[in-house]
Amino acid sequence: MFVLKNKNQMDKAITRCRQIRPTVKFDCFGRYRVSGSKGGYYTVICRKDERGIKTVECTCRAGDRGIPCFHAASVLGLHIWLSKQRQATN
Ligand SMILES: [Zn+2]
């Protein structure tokens, strides 16, 4: 799990994501599954706590150690877009 602070921390992960082009599956809002570079799927969970701190969890090894991974990078665009849609309708 890592805290989402700024876009720069995701730079490397975004580059990897563009190279690998993983498949993203939508489970529900804040919960996605992303294909790994060696097959299989990892679950990515995006959350915002009551203090407004955004955290991203991924079930891969990097995510486990708190390193932003390309799985997280690949769902962030979608997640941010969905959050905006939700805010617009609330
Ligand atoms: Zn990951």
Which residues contact residue 59 at a Cβ distance below 8 angstroms, ignoring those fewer than 6 apart?
Answer: 42, 43, 44
Q: What is the pLDDT of residue 75?
A: 97
- The string of pLDDT tens digits covering residues 17-65 is 999 999 999 999 999 999 999 999 999 999 999 999 999 999 999 999 9
pTM value? 0.91
The answer on pLDDT for 89 being more than 80 is no
* Bridge partners, 44 (sequence order): 32, 58
Q: Is residue 88 pLDDT above 80, yes or no?
A: yes
Distance 68 CA to ligand 1 centre (A): 7
**End-to-end distance of the chain based on CA atoms, in angstroms?**
28
Residues forming beta bridges with residue 35, ordered by sequence position: 41
Q: How confident is the model at residue 6 (pLDDT cuts 50, 70, 90)?
A: confident
Alpha carbon of 90 to ligand 1 centroid (Å): 31
